[in-house]
């Protein structure tokens, strides 16, 4: 692993057909690599519309095994362009057991591991508990040729425990494939605050753990039920101080790039030694649901 590396976040607008999304992702990966990216991250469930807007058993047919056809496409793209690639797929593990799964391929195309989304939301138009079995991989970190990557997925981004455990396992960078957006009728009243909270919580994870963060969202208005969801984009990369290194618009497809430096990570942790000063003897109650 080198002292410096370049990360790319691929902010995409999804089409209805898997083949189109895979082809456009491959084009974006190639462009990111051409511009110097060594780590590339795709949005959550990028091969389809965000189908969790409805509860429909037909959508289980979108799921694939891992290894499998879409995973193989990602492997070839990683190998061809010599990038570490973080993907996000709807995994069919067994009949009746499906996961929302992040894949990590190294620069030689090898699938170095998967992470199954641990925190599964359930909200209007985000009916993920219907589709996804909660992950059982634990919070994993993968040593790649470029950096130690901690993949987490969307709803995981709100939980400090997930970020902390990934940092304690040696992550240099946390990568959050994401599909989050506004309910159109709520956007005027709550949209700005919702987006600000989303960005702030992940910047806080970067600061509290002394890691880089790459948050990769989709854009576009996808309607499978009611008024649908307006995905707010806003993908960003930040450093261990929480400083924004690159940030995307709310409504355009973009490839964000940012340079990362392991020496800064080390320097930040020396001066803000949060990991050193943790009172691990006093945190047992964190494993309880509530204390009253």
Catalytic positions: 44, 117, 154
Query: Of 1, 18, 9, 6, whose CA–CA distance to 253 is shortest?
Result: 9
Q: How far is residue 147's CA from residue 124's CA, in Å, rounded to a whole number?
A: 37
Q: Is 208 exposed, middle or buried (0-12, 13-18, 19+ CB in 10 A)?
A: middle
SS3 149: strand
Q: How many CA atoms lie within 13 A of 129 on its CB side?
A: 5
Residue 9 is encoded by which pair of tokens? 């976040």
Is the Cβ–Cβ distance between 64 and 70 less than 8 Å? yes
State the distance between the two ends of the chain, measured CA to CA, in whole angstroms: 46
């Amino acid at each position: 692993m080198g002292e410096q590396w370049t990360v790319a976040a691929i902010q995409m607008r999804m089409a209805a057909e898997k083949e189109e999304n895979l082809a456009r992702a491959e084009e974006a990966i190639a462009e990111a690599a051409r511009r110097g990216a060594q780590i590339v991250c795709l949005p959550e469930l990028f091969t389809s519309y965000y189908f969790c807007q409805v509860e429909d058993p037909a959508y289980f047919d979108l799921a694939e095994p891992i290894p499998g056809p879409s995973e193989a496409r990602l492997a070839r793209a990683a190998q061809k362009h010599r990038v570490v690639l973080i993907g996000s797929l709807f995994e069919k593990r067994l009949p009746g057991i499906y996961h929302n799964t992040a894949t990590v391929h190294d620069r030689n195309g090898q699938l170095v591991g998967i992470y199954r989304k641990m925190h599964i939301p359930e909200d209007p138009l985000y009916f993920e508990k219907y589709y996804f079995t909660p992950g059982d991989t634990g919070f994993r970190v993968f040593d790649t040729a470029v950096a130690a990557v901690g993949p987490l997925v969307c709803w995981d981004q709100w939980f400090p425990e997930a970020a902390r455990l990934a940092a304690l396992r040696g992550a240099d960078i946390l990568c959050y494939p994401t599909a989050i957006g506004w309910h159109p009728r709520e956007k005027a009243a709550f949209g700005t605050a919702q987006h600000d909270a989303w960005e702030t919580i992940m910047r806080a994870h970067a600061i509290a753990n002394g890691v880089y963060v790459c948050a990769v969202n989709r854009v576009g208005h996808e309607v499978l039920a009611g008024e649908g969801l307006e995905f707010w984009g806003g993908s960003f990369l930040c450093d261990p101080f929480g400083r924004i290194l690159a940030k995307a618009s709310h409504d355009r497809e973009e490839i964000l790039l940012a340079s990362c430096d392991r020496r800064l990570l080390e320097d930040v942790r020396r001066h803000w030694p949060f990991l050193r000063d943790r009172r691990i003897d006093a945190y047992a109650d964190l494993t309880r649901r509530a204390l009253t």
